[in-house]
Amino acid sequence: MSKVKLGDVAELITKGTTPTTVGGSFTSSGINFVKSESIEDSKYLNADIFEKIDADTDKKLRRSRLKKDDLLFSIAGAYLGKVAIVRGSDVPANTNQAVGIVRLKSDIVDKDYAYYFFSQKHITAYINKLSSQSSQPNLNLDLLGRLPFDLKVLAQQKKIAAALSALDAKIECNNRINAELEAMAKTLYDYWFVQFDFPDANGKPYKSSGGKMVYNPTLKRKIPAGWEDGSLWDIARYFNGLAMQKFRPAGKEYLPVIKIKEMSEGISEQTERASLDITEDAIVNDGDVLFSWSATLDVKIWSQGRGALNQHIFKVTSEVYPKSYYYFELLNYLKHFKMMAEKRKTTMGHITQDHLKQAKICIPPTKLLWDAHKKIEPIFSKHLLHEKENQHLTQLRDWLLPMLMNGQVTVK
């Protein structure tokens, strides 16, 4: 193993450019444009966050055109220090000035090994320390090229990368399965309670088979005969979390505090801690439905283990209706809530109890809801199992990573 600099093992180190600086523009479709937000805590780029540029703009930005297997570093902003690999499915693509592009010498460096090396926590901390030396935290190309790198024999790099990649591949596979499971559950729910094609008395789809539909003046549309209208507030109980700074743990035992960040990214070393001595209502368990109603609006089924619910998040429960009902009704209404918050963000862009009371929905017969839930709940359970497995796989990968890099553990 030899200690080198990143620039010593790279064919190219450059960064992107904002399209508007060269007279280019964004489009609704076209060539992928990668932002620093696309570089998250995963091995590959998040294509869901790509923007698009046209071919003419891409031509003007040819200096920063991406290639398969490029290593991308977020060199500015909130995602500073994150790293990801460009997949073949991502290109053709380009990127902006907040993203550093490193094209490695493939005859001496394995891209996966390099990704894992720069994903180590102490390397990320070092990058953040370097960048903080400037007035506006960023990692310029000179600093990027001087990042330290442990150059092992290529065969050894590949063995290390293969062991870690196997864990990441399983995590990614679970994520794909979960995306399918979530889509399956939502399709079933929407088929029954949005399209109204739940099984009728003869087992046939209700609306498609001519089931009686009645105009509802509150909802301003037709709904199945016998159904009622109500609000999101009517179908569930919404418990707002506590200001957990008032409940710090006195001893070694504690609960992780679930804030909006934890809702989206999970529990981490930076997660705050709360006392076990809090009201039961403020304790969250796997499978609980959470609704963040301030700043970032989202609805999630929690899977990160027992925790303490912080303010600005509702724990949503019901003693009458099944979880699948109030979860999907909130999820279906989320887009509308986000539009409301966007219009009001200059004043107070959060969702209140009054908004929940004004959110009018169909209320089907309770028995029908529980019949649907019996079909949906097993899908939820499989989804939760995959998320729990991913947590264990992530912990194993993060435990192995530094030991493989420093030689404490070897791969035969």
Query: Along the 412 residues of the chain, how does pLDDT read in single tens digits?
Result: 689 999 999 999 999 998 988 888 899 889 999 999 999 888 999 988 999 999 999 999 988 999 999 999 999 887 888 999 999 999 999 999 999 999 999 999 999 999 999 999 888 888 888 777 655 668 889 999 999 999 999 999 999 999 999 999 999 999 999 999 999 999 999 999 999 999 999 999 999 999 999 999 999 999 999 999 999 999 999 999 999 999 999 889 999 999 999 998 899 888 999 999 999 999 999 999 999 998 889 999 999 999 999 999 999 999 999 999 999 999 999 999 988 877 766 445 688 999 999 999 999 999 999 999 999 999 999 999 999 999 999 999 999 999 999 989 888 7
Fold of 228-363: Adenine-n6-DNA-methyltransferase TaqI; Chain A, domain 2 (3.90.220)
Around 334, how many Cα atoms within 13 Å sit in the side-chain half-sphere? 17
CA distance 242 to 163: 42
pTM of the model: 0.88
Q: Which fold has domain 153-220+365-412?
A: Helix Hairpins (1.10.287)
Q: Which CATH class is domain 2-151?
A: alpha beta
Residue intervals of the chain classified under CATH 3.90.220.20 are 2-151, 228-363
Per-residue pLDDT, 133 = 64
Q: Residue 253 in contact with residue 329, Cβ under 8 Å?
A: no
Q: Give the 3-state secondary structure of 269-315.
A: CCCCEECCCCCHHHEECCCCEEEECCCCCEEEECCCCCEEEECCEEE
> CATH 1.10.287 in the chain, residues?
153-220+365-412
Amino acid making up residue 187? T
Instruction: Decide if 36 contacts 74 (C-beta within 8 A).
Output: yes
Residues 63/14, Cβ–Cβ less than 8 Å: yes
Tell me which DSSP letter residue 48 carries: G
Q: How far is CA 343 from CA 74, 241, 349, in A?
A: 31, 25, 8
DSSP assignments along 128-189, one per residue: HHHHTTSSS-B--HHHHHT-EEEE--HHHHHHHHHHHHHHHHHHHHHHHHHHHHHHHHHHHH
What pLDDT, on the 0 to 100 scale, is given for residue 347?
45
Residue 340 pLDDT: 82
Q: Are 51 and 33 in contact (CB under 8 A)?
A: yes
Pairing state of beta strands 83-85 and 51-53? Answer: unpaired
